[in-house]
């Protein structure tokens, strides 16, 4: 038997996939789900790869499942929006080899644009959903998900969240399953071709399946009733169960390992044993509303917020307000000083920085997108005006120009990263070219998916396993989509960037600018190379602060006590020699470090 | 209720090696036979933002996050970030803090000042505060990047874990070629007085 290990939820999901005999795993990165696939790479028997987006990832997994292999897809919560189309129909077709979809929610929006609750997708798509409460359960539930998938002929969703995926706890790994059937082609069009006639046959089976799964849940070990004091009983699941156990150690709990469909009989049994029943759940009143619909009296969102993460403290506070827990003692230290905040920032040498500096100078109206470059919104760059979802920058620009007078149309610039462009931006650019929207698009091609921790993408030249791969030629692709004006530019050259932007903004026709500097965190041949480190000549520095306007973390302003103007300094450990600050200095004060 | 659990918070700035330090800590507690849980937010934090990692150990640990006001030990990699999260600690908690400043954006731009006297104010609120020059120890050990393990060495004295277990945890978690320097930095931190 293998030794115990401390694993993150994501590492444990990967281990679970290995033990379950998964053949194919596909995903698109997204915090906090990204490391599942990155860890699956250590199990060479699994064919694991990044897909350009979540819809494609799920469809790759569906194909592998139809071929008879066990298949896994992983994504963050908003990824399911993109993958929803295949998901809903997959619910009708059912599976060949077992199929699991791991979705990682982000209550509190630590790194997301919304905190949608993916349990709603399970009910909406009529697909069972398991919710692990620690890393051991991430492993065990992944194994179980594949068994249930094959037993009930259904995809199974596994719901994680930031605290589960990025939390670590002790895991006892198990032995991989053996004796799974060999994948092969089996024709079954009545089940797999979802035309109306076939789908009408499948839908009632899906409804029956839900009833059977609910009955399974009544006795399944993953739904467990723990009776302690019968004064208070709490229905909860996942990491929230951990918080409840800590905040209210005396309370009885019904811990649900399967959060959809709910085990109605078990819930009724539990309710009958308890004086006051509660549901404690993060985000939506998902369990609570269903318990209420069973006609059972229960308290939930009356005392627990629908917004943000829970914690033992928040739960104890909610119960102390209704007199069911001791009040929390005063915190020992109230912060009296106001401390300067420390928001994330683009790295020193980031190729995105100069582009936003010039967009700001040109007073562009920037329809933004999601990636490291969204930080261009922050001061002092202040050069982003909208950001909705991946790919939206281009289509938002295309739409906004249609309501604007020509002199305002010129100001509209869409900014999008390479990974995001390939994810869903392509469709938007197709639309822009097709319908001749006179906006400018900048593709910030830093040759990597930087935001989520530097994953390869279809234009980066490598696969998940670091194998050399064909590279999408982004300029040619844009031309093929019908864009007549496509220019590649060096974002470290401010003058050229300014000129190109001005030229394309003035053009009453769609055009695309593509930057060509790699992310400064990717190393290796043909990728980022550090330039000569720069320094400020203190004799020449006049303290004009021009170099501060790019917000580079390597440049520090030190006020000078004698002459109030102060001077700039460059931190040689941080400077990458990108020269953007040097180009801003009119007094020749910035040069190579001697 | 949580008296059987020890709550450690590691705070600082993205890129300071906080995650590795918390991995080594967790590994050591597991090797010592405890239940361990650890939680942190990494996403935006990689880009120079503030980072908090929670490590909890005891006979049985439920929540992966330290309840507010119940932190027993604060392991601070940077003065401002240490000050920012002091409210997570219980009265009388221990603070081991790196005597080191990383200026946040507004300070770099000259729009805000880095507060003076943070070490003193931390010590006033938490008398059991140890100020460590992690950077100096790391340079003495041979590599500035080992500052996190030097600090970990200083923290290690407050925890009932044997030399042998610390060594095993470091050997497991630190990349081979950096191991020797990190073991040395750890020992220098561990040998500090106070
Ligand atoms: C539908 C969806 N999937 C995944 C994510 C997570 N995510 C945010 S930005 C991003 C990609 C950023 O890469 P790129 O566009 O190349 O910009 P960079 O960060 O490299 O500047 C990803 C995967 C998301 N926000 N939405």
Per-domain boundaries in chain A:
5-219, 224-330, 352-526, 534-592
Beta-carbon separation of A339 and B84 below 8 A: yes
What's the confidence (pLDDT) of residue B31?
A: 96
Scanning A424-443 for CB atoms below 8 A from B yields none
Looking at the domain that runs over A224-330, which CATH code has it been given? 3.40.50.920
Q: Where are the alpha helices (DSSP H) in A322-405?
A: 352-361, 392-400
User: Which residues of chain B have a CB within 8 Å of the CB of A453?
Assistant: 46
CB A208: neighbour CB atoms within 10 A? Answer: 11
Q: How far apart are CA A215 and CA A266, in angstroms?
A: 9
Band (A217; pLDDT cuts 50, 70, 90): very high
Radius of gyration of chain A from its Cα atoms, rounded to whole angstroms:
27
- Beta strand pairing call for A534-536 and A590-592: antiparallel
| C-alpha of residue A362 to centroid of ligand 1, in Å | 26
Are A170 and B65 within 8 A, CB to CB? no
Enter the ipTM.
Answer: 0.95
Closest partner residue to A557 among B23, B68, B110, by Cβ? B110
The pLDDT tens digits for B36-52 are: 999 988 765 567 889 99
Best probe residue, ligand 1, of A28, A30, A162 (max atoms within 8 Å of C-beta) = A30
From A162, A449, A474, mutation site for ligand 1 pocket: most ligand atoms within 8 A of C-beta: A449
Mean pLDDT for all residues in chain A = 96
Q: What is the DSSP-derived secondary structure letter of residue A347? A: P
Angle at A448 between CA A457 and CA B104, to 5 degrees: 145
Burial label for A485, CB within 10 Å (0-12, 13-18, 19+), is: middle
> Residue A251: which of A225, A272, A269 has the closest Cα?
A225
The whole-angstrom distance between A463's CA and the closest CA on chain B is 22
Closest CA to A65 of A122, A25, A16: A25
> Which residue has 């699956």 as its token pair?
A40
Task: Spell out which residues of chain A touch residue B36, defining contact as CB-CB under 8 Å.
Answer: 6, 168-170
From the list A205, A210, A127, A142, the residue with the least C-alpha distance to A173 is A142
The CATH T-level fold of domain A5-219 is Rossmann fold (3.40.50)
d(CA A218, CA A222): 10
> If you compute the radius of gyration of chain B from its CA atoms, what whole number of angstroms results?
16
Residue A258 pairs in a beta bridge with A130
CATH number of the domain where residue B30 is located: 3.40.920.10
Q: What is the mean pLDDT of residues A563-581?
A: 91
- Identify the domain containing residue B159 by its residue range: 5-190
- Pull the structure tokens for residue A418: 């390479």
* A positions 531-550 inside 8 Å of B (CB): 545, 548
Count CA atoms closer than 13 A to A111's CA, side-chain side. Answer: 28
The listed CATH number (3.90.420.10, 3.40.50.970, 3.30.70.580, 3.40.50.800) that belongs to domain A352-526: 3.40.50.970
Report CB contact under 8 Å: B115, A337: yes
On whether the pTM is more than 0.90, the answer is yes
Residue A307 gets which letter from DSSP?
S
CB atoms inside a 10 Å sphere around CB A209: 20
- The number of domains in chain B is 1
pLDDT band at B110 (very low <50, low <70, confident <90, very high): confident
8 Å CB contact of A166 and B41: yes
pLDDT tens digits, residue range A280-333? Answer: 999 999 999 999 999 999 999 999 999 999 999 999 999 999 999 987 766 555
- A198-202, A439-443, B50-54: the lowest-pLDDT one: B50-54
Domain A224-330 shares a fold with domain A352-526: yes
* Torsion-angle region of A313 (φ positive above 0: left; ψ -120 to 50: alpha; else: beta): alpha
Q: ω into residue A380 within 30 of 0, thus cis?
A: yes
Question: Check: CATH 3.30.70.20 for A534-592?
Answer: yes
Looking from the CA of residue A445, the nearest atom of ligand 1 is 16
More confident residue, A564 or A177: A177
**Does A373 contact ligand 1 (Cβ within 6 A)?**
yes
Minimum Cα–Cα distance from A548: chain B residue:
B109
Query: What residues of chain A lie within 8 A of the CB of B48, using their CB?
Result: 342, 344-345, 347, 553
The yes-or-no verdict on residue B80 having pLDDT over 80 is yes
Contacts of A576 (CB under 8 A, 6+ apart): A348, A349, A520, A530, A531, A533, A554
**Cβ pair A14, A464 in contact under 8 A:** no
Helix intervals (H) in A220-311: 238-247, 264-273, 286-293
3-state class (DSSP) for residue A76: strand
How many CB pairs (< 8 A) connect A and B? 163
pLDDT-derived band at A559, boundaries 50, 70, 90: confident
CA distance A477 to chain B (A): 31
Q: The tokens 């005396």 sit on which residue?
A: A250
User: Whose C-alpha lies nearest to ligand 1, atom 6?
Assistant: A30
**Model confidence at A124, in pLDDT bands (50, 70, 90)?**
very high
Q: Where residue B94 falls among pLDDT bands split at 50, 70, 90?
A: very high
- Label residues A490-512 b or e (16+ Cβ within 10 Å = b): ebbbbeebbebbbebbeeeebbb
């Amino acid at each position: 038997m293998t030794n115990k290990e401390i694993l993150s939820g994501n590492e444990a999901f990967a281990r679970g996939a290995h033990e379950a005999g998964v053949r194919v795993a596909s995903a698109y990165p997204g915090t906090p789900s990204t490391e599942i696939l990155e860890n699956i790479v250590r199990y060479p028997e699994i064919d694991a790869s990044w897909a350009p987006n979540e819809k494609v990832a799920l469809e790759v997994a569906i194909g592998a499942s139809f071929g008879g292999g066990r298949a896994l897809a992983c994504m963050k919560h908003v990824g399911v929006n993109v993958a929803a189309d295949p998901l809903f129909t997959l619910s009708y077709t059912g599976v060949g080899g077992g199929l699991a979809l791991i979705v990682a929610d982000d209550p509190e929006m630590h790194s997301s644009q919304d905190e949608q609750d993916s349990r709603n997708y399970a009910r909406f798509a009529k697909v069972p959903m398991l919710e692990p409460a620690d890393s051991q359960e991430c492993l065990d539930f992944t194994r179980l998900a594949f068994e249930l998938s094959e037993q009930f002929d259904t995809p199974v969703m596994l719901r994680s969240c930031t605290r589960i995926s990025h939390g670590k706890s002790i895991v006892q790994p198990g032995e991989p399953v053996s004796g799974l059937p060999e994948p092969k082609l089996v024709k079954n069009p009545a089940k797999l071709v979802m035309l109306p006639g076939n789908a009408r046959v499948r839908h009632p089976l899906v409804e029956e399946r839900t009833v059977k799964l609910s009955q399974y849940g009544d006795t399944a070990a993953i739904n467990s009733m723990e009776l302690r004091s019968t004064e208070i009983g709490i229905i909860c699941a996942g990491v929230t169960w951990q918080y409840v156990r800590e905040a209210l150690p005396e309370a009885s709990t019904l811990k649900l390992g399967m959060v959809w469909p709910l085990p109605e009989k078990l819930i009724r049994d539990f309710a009958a044993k308890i004086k006051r029943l509660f549901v404690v759940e993060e985000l939506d009143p998902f369990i609570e509303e269903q318990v209420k619909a069973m006609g059972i009296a229960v308290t939930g969102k009356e005392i627990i917020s629908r917004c943000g993460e829970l914690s033992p403290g928040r739960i104890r506070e909610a119960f102390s307000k209704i007199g069911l827990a001791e009040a929390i003692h005063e915190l020992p230290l109230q912060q009296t000083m106001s401390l300067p905040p420390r928001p994330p920032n683009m790295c020193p040498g980031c190729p995105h920085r100069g582009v936003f500096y010039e967009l700001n100078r040109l007073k562009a109206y920037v329809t933004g997108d999601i990636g490291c470059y969204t930080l261009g919104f922050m001061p002092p760059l202040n050069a982003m005006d909208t950001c909705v979802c991946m790919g939206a920058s281009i289509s938002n620009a295309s739409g906004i120009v249609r309501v604007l007078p020509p002199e305002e149309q010129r100001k509209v610039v869409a900014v999008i990263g390479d990974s995001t462009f390939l994810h869903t931006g392509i469709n938007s650019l197709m639309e822009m070219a097709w319908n001749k929207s006179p906006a400018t698009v900048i593709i910030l091609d830093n040759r990597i998916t930087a935001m989520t921790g530097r994953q390869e993408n279809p234009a980066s030249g490598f696969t998940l396993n670091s194998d050399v791969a064909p590279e999408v030629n982004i300029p040619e692709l844009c031309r093929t989509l019908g864009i007549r004006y496509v220019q590649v530019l060096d974002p470290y050259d401010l003058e050229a960037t300014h000129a190109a932007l001005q030229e394309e903004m003035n053009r009453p026709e769609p055009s695309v600018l593509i930057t060509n500097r790699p992310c400064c965190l990717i190393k290796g041949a043909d990728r980022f190379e550090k330039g000569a480190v720069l320094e400020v000549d203190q004799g020449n520095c006049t303290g004009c602060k021009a170099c501060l306007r790019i917000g580079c973390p390597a440049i520090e302003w030190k006020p000078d006590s004698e002459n109030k103007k102060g001077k700039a300094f460059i931190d040689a450990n941080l400077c990458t020699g990108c020269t953007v600050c040097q180009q801003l200095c009119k007094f020749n004060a910035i040069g190579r470090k001697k | 209720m949580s008296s059987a659990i020890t709550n450690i918070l590691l705070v600082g700035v993205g890129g300071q090696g906080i995650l590795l330090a918390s991995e080594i800590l967790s590994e050591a507690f597991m090797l010592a036979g405890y239940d361990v849980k650890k939680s942190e937010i990494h996403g935006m934090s990689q880009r120079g933002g503030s980072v908090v990692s929670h490590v909890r150990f005891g006979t049985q640990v439920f929540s992966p996050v330290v309840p507010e006001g119940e932190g027993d030990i604060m392991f601070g990699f940077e003065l401002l970030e240490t000050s920012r999260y002091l409210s997570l600690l219980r009265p009388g908690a221990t603070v081991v803090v790196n005597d080191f400043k990383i200026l946040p954006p507004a300070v770099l731009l000259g729009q805000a000042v880095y507060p003076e006297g943070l070490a003193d104010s931390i010590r006033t609120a938490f008398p059991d505060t140890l100020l460590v020059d992690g950077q100096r120890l790391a340079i003495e050990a041979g590599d500035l990047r080992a500052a996190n393990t030097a600090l970990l060495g200083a923290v290690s004295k407050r925890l009932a874990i044997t030399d042998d277990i610390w060594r095993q945890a470091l050997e497991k978690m630190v990349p081979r070629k950096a191991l020797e320097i990190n073991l040395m930095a750890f020992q220098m931190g561990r040998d500090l007085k106070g």
